Structure 1
Amino acid sequence: MKSNRVFIAWLRWPIYVRIAIIILLLIILFGHLITFVEPQQFSNVFEGVWWALITVSSVGYGDFVPKTALGKTVGMLLILIGAAFVTAYFATMATAAFSKQQRYAEGKVNYRGKGHMILIGWNEKSNKLMRTLQAADSNKTIVLIDETLKEGPLMENIHFIRGPAADDATLQKANIEEAEIVFITADQHKSEISADMQSVLTLLAVKGLNPSVYCVVEILTEKQKKNAERAGANQIISTADLLKTA
């Protein structure tokens, strides 16, 4: 039962970590083995481990070479077994790097920084606002939240989070608790009333998670301005004034 738990715990480790451990064990094992088989060529374990490392990595300096048939057999076994694991290790690392890059582009990677700006909604005016903010402070990270984009824009210091901005889980991925300022833009694909209602709902979600964050909200109709104020908006602006906030 205990061995089963250990095996399950082992399987829970990242695969590249498991492969790296196997490679390390193979190097140590064959390093000791070659020292035992050919003591004349390998005077100590360190030389054996060095030879095993160079052999399994296919570098082959040639400073230590087995001379006997048994020693060469050990070398062949190491190449056959070790090379497979080394190839698998680098293939796994490449796959993991590509997967992480893809997840980042698709907005699935949480933001861990502090003191950042959050921009909610992607459209032409938010694109211009983003560039204006970057021009004002190029070192400040902007976290863009949008559920319509499949991949985030390729811009410096932009972290993309895909999802509905009124959802707590999405805001927490953007690390709303540590944000300095939030810009909420109106959804251009909805009617003015629907867009304003969505903006107020998003504002309520933001203030619910971080009451002290400064919120700038774009409101399109006069009727919804009071609701935005009640929801905790620090600044209410129109579309024409949106780009002047930076």
Structure 2
Amino acid sequence: MLIRYFVNTEDRKFPLEVIRLSQNVYNYFLRFPLVIRILFMAFFIMVIFGMFIHLIEPTNFPTVFDGIWWAIVTASTVGYGDFVPKSILGRIAGIFLIFLGASFLTFYFSNLATIAVTKQNEYLEGKRLYKGRGHLIIIGWNERSREMVEILSKEDKGKQMILIDDSLGNLPVKQPNVHFIKGRSNRDETLINANLHAAECVIITADPNKDELQTDMHTILTLLAIKGLNPSVKCIVEILTTEQVLNAGRAGADEVIRSNKIISTAMLGKI
């Protein structure tokens, strides 16, 4: 009776272990992207049908590989005709394979195309995370930003630039070395999406849509957010009002550009 108890106990444990292992494998499988899962299931179906046709018609399909080759060619509706089932059972298997395998392959390629289009749209709309290193971050889109992008693209085509702006709907330039991030520049999420921790330099331009004092306050707030996430990154800021120059330095600006003073001096020099 004691031996029978232990045997029964082991018998009860074995199915539980198999169930747990199957559940773990299934959960791990669900972590893969949908396209990878569909491709794996389609390939699994091809292998099963290839082995099956080899077993029922070993003369027409001498090896398992020949059966898998026939399954792939049949499911993709290519139909080379080099391997053809002769028996009724083999042809029935071919019918099921066409319906089942072709559906999986069609679903796979349609999802692949959808993912490609979605990623392209996310890139253009500024929703894609940037993963590069040693890049330049330009905050704010205006004529000064446009000039900087054009000049840097001509002088150093390999220099990667990240443009952060909240007012744009899509990437405003066609240069391949410019990556657009849509969002408010003083938010941690936006700066993290621009991979601020790996950036070489940040340039903060003044917002032309606000008055000068509000623009400078927004610039300093953005500077504080940047230095809070990456204190070592070099920051060049544009300040419009004289009284905010000192505050920009206190916030951690490495270089302060007083654009109004530069323009005034240039205009007076033309007199």
TM-score bucket of the superposed structures, by smaller chain: over 0.9
Q: SS of the residue aligned with 1:229?
A: helix
**Corresponding residue number in structure 1 for 2:52:** 33
- Write the distance in 1 (CA, Å) between the matches of 2:126 and 2:178: 11
Amino acid at match of 1:176: L
CA shift, 1:8, in A, is 4.9
Superposition pairs of residues 229-240 of structure 1, within 5 angstroms: 229-239=249-259
C-alpha contact (below 8 Å) 2:153/2:175 kept by paired residues: no
**Corresponding residue number in structure 2 for 1:202:** 222
Q: Deviations over 1:184-226 (max 9, x none)?
A: 0011110000000000111111111111211110000001000
- Write the distance in 1 (CA, Å) between the matches of 2:154 and 2:243: 34
Query: Is 1:50 equivalent to 2:69 in the alignment?
Result: yes
CA shift, 1:58, in A, is 1.7
Amino acid at match of 1:86: L
Structure 2: which 5+ residue stretches go unaligned?
1-18, 264-271
Q: SS of the residue aligned with 2:85?
A: coil
Aligned-residue CA RMSD in angstroms? 1.7
TM-score, normalised by the number of residues in structure 2: 0.84
**Corresponding residue number in structure 2 for 1:218:** 238
CA shift, 1:129, in A, is 1.8
Query: Is 1:17 equivalent to 2:17 in the alignment?
Result: no
TM-score, normalised by the number of residues in structure 1: 0.93
Structure 1: which 5+ residue stretches go unaligned?
none
2:155 to 136, 143, 152: 136
**Corresponding residue number in structure 1 for 2:119:** 100
- Write the distance in 2 (CA, Å) between the matches of 1:202 and 1:28: 57
CA shift, 1:6, in A, is 5.3
Superposition pairs of residues 129-168 of structure 1, within 5 angstroms: 129-153=148-172, 154-168=174-188
**Corresponding residue number in structure 2 for 1:75:** 94
Q: Deviations over 1:20-72 (max 9, x none)?
A: 11101110000011111211101111111111111112221111111222211
Higher alpha-carbon deviation: 231-240 or 202-211: 231-240
- Write the distance in 2 (CA, Å) between the matches of 1:11 and 1:180: 38
- Write the distance in 2 (CA, Å) between the matches of 1:7 and 1:130: 48
Higher relative contact order (CA 8 A, sep 6+): 1
- Write the distance in 1 (CA, Å) between the matches of 2:81 and 2:23: 43
**Corresponding residue number in structure 1 for 2:133:** 114
Higher alpha-carbon deviation: 165-174 or 53-62: 53-62
Aligned residues: 242
- Write the distance in 1 (CA, Å) between the matches of 2:95 and 2:27: 32
Aligned-pair identity in percent equals 48
- Write the distance in 1 (CA, Å) between the matches of 2:212 and 2:65: 74
Q: Which one has a bigger Cα radius of gyration?
A: 2
